[in-house]
Amino acid sequence: MRKVNQKGWLFVLPVVILVAFNALVPMMTVVNYSVQETFGNNQFFWHGLGWFQDILRSERFHAALGRQVLFTVTILLIEVPLGIAIALAMPRKGFWVPVCLVTMALPMLIPWNVVGAMWNIFALPDIGLLGYFLNHVLGIDYNMTRDPVAAWITIIVMDVWHWTSLVVLLCYAGLVSIPDAYYQAARIDGASNWAVFRHIQLPKMKHVLTIAVLLRFMDSFNIYTEPFVLTGGGPGNSTTLLSIDLVKMALGQFDLGPAAAMSLIYFSITLLVSWLFYTLMTRHDTH
Amino acid sequence: MAKITLDGLRHSYMPDPKGPQDYALKSLDVEWQDGGAYALLGPSGCGKSTLLNIISGLLVPSQGRVLFDGRDVTALPPDRRNIAQVFQFPVIYDTMSVFDNLAFPLRNRGIEESRVTSRVHEIAEMLELTSMLKMRAANLSPDNKQKISMGRGLVREDVNVIMFDEPLTVIDPHLKWKLRSKLKELHQKVGVTMIYVTHDQTEALTFADQVVVMQEGEVVQIGTPVELFERPAHTFVGHFIGSPGMNVLPAELRDGAAWFAGHRIELEGPITPGEGRHEIGIRPEHVSLAEAGLPGRVRKVMDMGRYWIVEAIVEGSDKTRVAAMVQSDPTAVGDAVHLAFRPDQTRLYRDGRIATTRQGGNA
């Protein structure tokens, strides 16, 4: 029999405590709310899975989830190819490397609510630089406070502006790690530019791209601050994404039970998709 | 397949080279025969990789021409020169199978699929890769990956030359020998001109018919492995090839003879006229411990298994150590010994270059 050294637990203990207090305990309180009904006065009544059933059947949740999926899919479809393209176009060495890197990193350094506020002012139809330019110079009828399509375009452009850099920087890191010999060998083998991209650059970027897509998926699926500051979920409910809807329910209507149930469903979706994606992408690496 | 001529090659990585120190390659004229096995040997930074990249077309030389069968290819890109190159770290296309890797250069050139298949199978058979053809190349061991790199060069029938840039660096020692003999065997079978770049003398001497020894951007000697070993034309070659390298002893010329530490040293033949810094060169293999000879004191004895290396300081010299290879009866450190040099293997070098003529032989 192998003797197990029980002292190991002692070393893991601090991490266990830390994780317990910053993740498990708050999460358990949410679980607690999700299965109970309360009318205030700190009185709680057992409600079973009722809230979960309600949320899963609610049209409001379906609509918010639909908008959320549309938003996430759209920004991924734009940011990933665009990020790869920019990373490919960036210089590999020389004076312009730091210039490009800093320029790329700038949008990510701006606090999220500031990004929302910036784009709000920027896009206002009468006083914003962009809004004014579109309406009064180009003559396009653009009003993101009134027109859902304009609001959607603005949110998506804002997210692309804010986060494409992340994809760029990760892809760039993947690209610069490719030894010159690969490009030289490809030239000798007579490979076209497309073949170089398809068989050298893309495979070498696969791991960082997996991380990039994962991060962008999670962040965009959970996005709150920027669209909240930019449109507040409007006009109407047209840009009410899941998190905005959740906050409305939890803090606007103070429906703690349904809000808790929705949080857990929301969290499960994010977790499930991330896990599926990561497992699929790294399936080949183990053997 | 082609004869390769390097005509007055010079290369500098600087935009505006001033003196010779700015050149990575200083004036090179070499001719390589069709179907030969050549090695470029030299220490790191001697310009051998630069030369290789110029031949493959990855680099355009500052001056001079590269000719394949008399045709000037200096300005042609790599894919139009019909060359192949195997790099230090195995380059394989991770996502493809071994078969697709080998087929890649052919498919890029639009060769029909039936021809590709037969050619890939032929080459895989030669490299003993047949059983792996369906596997993903990424999962193979380094030596098999390096075989794939070679295979991508061999698979093209019209290839002019295959170049190897220190291809065994990442291979496990016990597989190095195997892969090296495989390479030699392939060369004999295929008959393509091969150029092998390395800083490892064993690799160069076992692979090549002709070895080009380079130092600081210059060719110091071109010769067969035996020539390089037996009669180095330069003290650098003597020192770089052989283990341990040739003894290089400071010398002076007096009365038409060479003197080391006050002792007159017999040389292989007459000294060529000239002025400069003189050195005597003799390999440890040709120094023996004898009853008479240069008196000295042993400073170090190394047991090499089948022989001993004895290092001694000759009396009257300025702490210059002379190494001798001894087959039996090694002495102990501190012993007084006499060192005998074999005259026909003792040479004089002037400013690094050989300055004696062999008696009865060619210079």
Q: Which two tokens stand for residue B112?
A: 């029909």
CA dist., res. B249 & res. B86, Å (int): 40
Domain A56-285 indexed as CATH 1.10.3720.10 = yes
**Number of alpha carbons in the 13 Å side-chain half-sphere of residue B326:** 25
Element housing B154 (H / E)? helix B142-154
Closest Cα in chain B, distance from residue A72 (Å): 29
CA dist., res. B351 & res. B224, Å (int): 23
| Chain A contact present for B107, CB below 8 A | no
Judged by CB atoms closer than 8 Å, whether chains meet at A179 and B96 is answered as no
Closest Cα in chain B, distance from residue A180 (Å): 10
CA dist., res. A20 & res. B97, Å (int): 46
pTM above 0.80, yes or no: no
Contacts of residue A199 in chain B, CB cutoff 8 Å? 93, 95-96, 104
Domains in chain B, CATH or no CATH each: 4-230 (3.40.50.300), 243-354 (2.40.50.140)
Q: Between A and B, how many residue pairs show a Cβ–Cβ distance under 8 A?
A: 53
A78-92, B126-140, B156-170, B250-264, range with greatest mean pLDDT = A78-92
Contacts of residue A181 in chain B, CB cutoff 8 Å? 87-89, 91
Contacts of residue B96 in chain A, CB cutoff 8 Å? 199
Judged by CB atoms closer than 8 Å, whether chains meet at A204 and B139 is answered as no
Contacts of residue A203 in chain B, CB cutoff 8 Å? 93-95
**B219 phi, psi to nearest 5 deg:** -85, 125
Rg of chain B over all Cα atoms, to the nearest angstrom? 24
| Chain A contact present for B139, CB below 8 A | yes
First to last CA, chain A: 31
Written as tens digits, the pLDDT of chain A (287 aa) is 567 778 888 999 999 999 988 888 888 888 888 888 877 777 777 877 877 888 888 888 888 899 999 999 999 999 999 999 999 999 888 889 999 999 999 999 999 889 989 998 898 888 888 888 888 888 788 888 888 888 899 999 999 999 999 999 999 999 998 888 898 888 888 888 898 998 889 988 888 999 999 999 999 998 888 888 888 877 888 888 888 888 888 887 878 888 888 888 989 999 999 999 988 888 866 54
Determine what percent of chain B is predicted with pLDDT higher than 70.
98
Residue partners of B287: CB distance under 8 A and separation at least 6: B247, B322, B323, B324, B325, B339, B340, B341, B342
**pLDDT tens, B267-307?**
888 888 888 888 999 999 999 888 888 888 888 888 888 88
For chain B, what is the mean pLDDT?
Answer: 85
CA dist., res. A268 & res. A113, Å (int): 26
**pLDDT tens, B327-358?**
877 788 888 888 888 888 899 998 888 888 87
Q: Which two tokens stand for residue A77?
A: 């479809």
pLDDT of residue A106: 92
CA dist., res. B169 & res. B108, Å (int): 29
Judged by CB atoms closer than 8 Å, whether chains meet at B56 and A184 is answered as yes
Ordered alpha helix ranges (H), chain A: 8-19, 25-34, 50-57, 59-89, 96-109, 112-123, 129-132, 148-176, 180-188, 193-196, 202-221, 225-230, 242-247, 256-281
**pLDDT tens, B220-259?**
888 888 888 888 888 988 888 888 889 988 888 888 788 8
| Chain A contact present for B89, CB below 8 A | yes
Closest Cα in chain A, distance from residue B93 (Å): 6
Which residues 343-362 of B are in CB contact (within 8 Å) with A?
A: none
Contacts of residue A93 in chain B, CB cutoff 8 Å? none
C-beta of residue A192 within 8 angstroms of C-beta of residue B105: no
| Chain A contact present for B104, CB below 8 A | yes
| Chain A contact present for B135, CB below 8 A | no
* Of B21 and B142, more confident: B142
pLDDT of residue B363: 43
| Chain A contact present for B158, CB below 8 A | no
CA dist., res. B200 & res. B169, Å (int): 10
Judged by CB atoms closer than 8 Å, whether chains meet at A204 and B78 is answered as no
pLDDT of residue A2: 67
Looking at the partner chain, which of B77, B85, B89 has a beta carbon nearest the beta carbon of A179? Answer: B89
Contacts of residue A200 in chain B, CB cutoff 8 Å? 93
CA dist., res. A113 & res. A89, Å (int): 30
**pLDDT tens, B47-63?**
888 888 888 888 888 88
Helix then strand then coil, in percent of chain B rounded to 5, is 30, 35, 40
This complex has an ipTM of 0.72
